[in-house]
Copies of this chain bind each other. A is one copy, B any other.
């Protein structure tokens, strides 16, 4: 394992725009939760629920807001947003090896590939004709990059990723193992009981600072390209169909599927296992809760949900029977209301 770096508290404070309370020359060699941190580790306090853990932590130092400085048992680094500061500091302790420029002898790289000399191509990677690999980019072992692809500077294509031909990634992207970009969109025309394949002639365009999770699939467009905006974050096993457009900064959690030609606005957050059907438009800033099905366009940002909530199986089963009679039940209530009103009128008449 790579030797763990130790970092001075002052250097951490400088990175996050914070102020050290305690010895700025103190050093930490890692990050941990309040509860599990030992001496020599840094922690953070971002959730009021954990105040008891803050008070009893063994962490060498804690990232906190001003109002909690008094509760920190050892050193503190005062910051405006401890969670954000934690994110920034986590990058100092990343386990990834620094890039080793060059091409592993077992890799198969076409002659016409434009490969920046600072890029790293790992063992048994394959890169097709006409592709461009930018400065500082990383192509993992067994990654397959098709023809005419672009991998922007400092982007990482992890082990076993597949990019079909004509897929472009911007700068500073991470594509995790098992992800497949540019497979054929699911397009067929019916012909008297058979399906005739519609060749998918578009590509995939991914912006800058995009992260794509393990096992996620993004299909190529039918005619135009499938487009993923800058700063989009896709979790594992997300499915993005052909010609989908995702606006900048949108985050989509695991196992969500977006059907063809749907346009998702900027800065949406879509929880896991959700589905969005095809040819819809979703307003910027929309939030979808877990396992919801979106089957109409959303023009007003806000939070949206579907589903029934969880119940013990026995009572759920009885309620499901009633759900299937709900329209009828509703009509019965309307009839009751009429009857009551009628009785009431007749009562008054008497």
Contact = CB atoms under 8 A, between A and B. Distances in A.
Interface of A: 1, 30-33, 36, 81, 83-84, 86-88, 90-91, 93-97, 104, 106, 108, 122-124, 126, 130, 140-142, 144, 146-148, 158-160, 162, 164-166, 174, 176-180, 183-184, 186-191, 193-201, 209, 211, 213-215, 217, 219, 222-224, 231, 233, 235-237, 239, 241, 249, 251, 253-255, 257, 259, 267, 271-273, 275, 277, 287, 289-296, 302-327, 329-330, 332-333, 336-337, 339-340, 343-344, 347
A97 B147 contact: yes
A326 B323 contact: yes
B180 A214 contact: yes
A253 B260 CA distance: 11
Contact of A160 (B160, B314, B339): B160
Nearest to A230: B194
B188 A251 contact: yes
Contacts of A193: 249, 267
Contact of A236 (B144, B213, B217): B217
Contact of A293 (B215, B294, B310): B310
Contacts of A271: 277
Chain B CB count within 10 A is highest, among A106, A158, A187, A310, for A310
A239 B237 contact: yes
A86 B324 contact: no
A343 B30 CA distance: 73
10 contacts: A90-B198, A96-B165, A144-B160, A164-B177, A193-B249, A271-B277, A275-B290, A306-B310, A308-B320, A343-B344
Nearest to A104: B108
Contacts of A195: 231, 233, 249, 251
Report the copy number of this chain in the oligomer: 3
A273 B275 contact: yes
A237 B224 contact: no
Q: Kindly list the 3 A-B residue pairs having the minimum CB-CB distance in the complex, ordered from nearest.
A: A87-B189, A303-B313, A183-B214
Nearest to A124: B124
A36 B30 CA distance: 53
Nearest to A161: B160
Contact of A307 (B97, B253, B303, B306): B306
B323 A310 contact: no
A235 to B, nearest CB: 4
A138 to B, nearest CB: 13
Given A97-B147, A183-B158, A259 B231 contact: no
